[in-house]
Amino acid sequence: MAILFVALITTGLLCQAEPVRYPAVANQQAPRSVYPLALLEQALAYSGKGYQLQSSAEPMSKSRAMVFLRERQEIDVLWTMTSVERELELLPIRIPIFKGLSGYRVSLIHQENRDAFAARHAPVTIRRLLYAQGHDWVDTKILRLNGLNVIEAARYDNIFSMLQRRRVDAVPRNVLEITDEASLLTAQQLVIEQNWLIYYPSASYFFVNSDNQQLAIDIEQGLQKMLADGSFEQLFQQFFSRQLAELKLEQRQIIKLDNPLLPAQTPLQDPRLWYYPAK
């Protein structure tokens, strides 16, 4: 009877748990894909509410996920780079989950094109090269607004195919994802460029539907508690310290770009929230 009672209580608690649906992660091995889930799970646990994360049935493109979130269908939360347009359509939790590293870009290049990115070149020479990005990425707009030449790819894999065929000079990638990508692309003669770092201020947030105020409050309160007790930084280092050490950002020449799409409400003045490469 005691065992049955405990089972009934446990079943009742699980039934009361409120699901929080998110877009399915396509690559369960990629730290940048898994980290937001670990962060979200811990933040929701810190909120003290009975939330339970639940994956969508299939992975989806960022643009499709945002449509579903606006319509409150299939998902309740997603994470993506912010912009004025996105903050008008969705409700952001303004704590940058990647500490601003979404705006630090190192390029993948063809190994036979290293000389085009030699350290002796002037920044203007690097800016004149031809880059590839995804068709629905905020980064694509930012690079173009800064005068860089960008070719769009409809699919993620097409970006690297263009680079392999030398149709473009480089593919700027988020510093938190490029090392894992490069390890999978060596057979295609694609390598990490070693001398340059493109930077623009940016933030990737958790977003919820604009009507889902309570979920936004609970996520934000959980993240604030993690910032206060150090568990946010601990989790970040656990996932990304190796990649950042390998890229040696502090030794690279920086090309600074503007980000006209960055909302004015971005908390750039709060040093707790951002990563600063050591000099």
Same domain, 140 and 153: yes
| pLDDT higher than 90, residue 214 | yes
Same domain, 183 and 215: no
Say if 3 falls within a structural domain: no
Chain mean pLDDT for the chain = 90
DSSP label at residue 148 = -
Q: Pick the range with the lowest mean pLDDT from 9-13, 116-120, 270-274.
A: 9-13
Q: Domain residues for 113?
A: 102-199
| pLDDT higher than 60, residue 1 | no
Residue 258 exposed, middle or buried by CB count within 10 Å (0-12, 13-18, 19+): exposed
Same domain, 111 and 160: yes
Residue where a domain terminates, one of 168, 184, 199:
199
Say if 5 falls within a structural domain: no
Say if 73 falls within a structural domain: yes
Same domain, 59 and 120: no
The helix or strand, by DSSP H or E, that contains position 151, with its residue range, turns out to be strand 149-153
| pLDDT higher than 70, residue 13 | no
- The predicted structure's pLDDT at residue 62: 86
Same domain, 110 and 34: no
Say if 208 falls within a structural domain: yes
The pTM score is 0.85
Same domain, 207 and 79: yes
| pLDDT higher than 90, residue 87 | yes
- The predicted structure's pLDDT at residue 129: 97
- The predicted structure's pLDDT at residue 225: 97
229: Cβ–Cβ under 8 A, 6 or more apart, which residues? none
Same domain, 51 and 112: no
Token pair for 120: 């002796």
Same domain, 64 and 189: no
100-114 pLDDT per residue, tens: 998 999 999 999 999
Give residue 15's pLDDT band: very low, low, confident or very high (50, 70, 90): very low
Residue where a domain terminates, one of 149, 174, 199:
199
Query: Closest Cα to residue 42, out of 223, 240, 224, 212?
Result: 223
249-266 pLDDT per residue, tens: 999 999 999 999 999 999
- The predicted structure's pLDDT at residue 199: 96
The count of structural domains within the chain is: 2
- The predicted structure's pLDDT at residue 10: 39
105-161 pLDDT per residue, tens: 999 999 999 999 999 999 999 999 999 999 888 899 999 999 999 999 988 889 999
DSSP label at residue 252 = S
- The predicted structure's pLDDT at residue 2: 39
Same domain, 94 and 115: no
- What's the Rg (C-alpha) of the chain? 20
Output the domain CATH number for residue 79: 3.40.190.10
- The predicted structure's pLDDT at residue 25: 86
- The predicted structure's pLDDT at residue 11: 41
47-75 average pLDDT score: 92
Say if 248 falls within a structural domain: no
Say if 9 falls within a structural domain: no
Say if 160 falls within a structural domain: yes
- The predicted structure's pLDDT at residue 279: 54
Q: Name the pairing type of β-strands 18-22 and 51-55.
A: parallel
Same domain, 179 and 109: yes
Same domain, 89 and 150: no
Residues 28, 95, 142, CA angle at the centre, nearest 5°? 80
- The predicted structure's pLDDT at residue 254: 95
Residue where a domain terminates, one of 149, 170, 199:
199
DSSP letters along 80-129, please? EE--HHHHHHSEEE-S-TTTTGGGEEEEEEEGGGGGGG-TTS-HHHHHTS
Q: Pick the range with the lowest mean pLDDT from 40-44, 117-121, 182-186.
A: 182-186
Say if 29 falls within a structural domain: yes
240: Cβ–Cβ under 8 A, 6 or more apart, which residues? 31, 32, 35, 101, 176
Same domain, 38 and 78: yes
| pLDDT higher than 60, residue 86 | yes
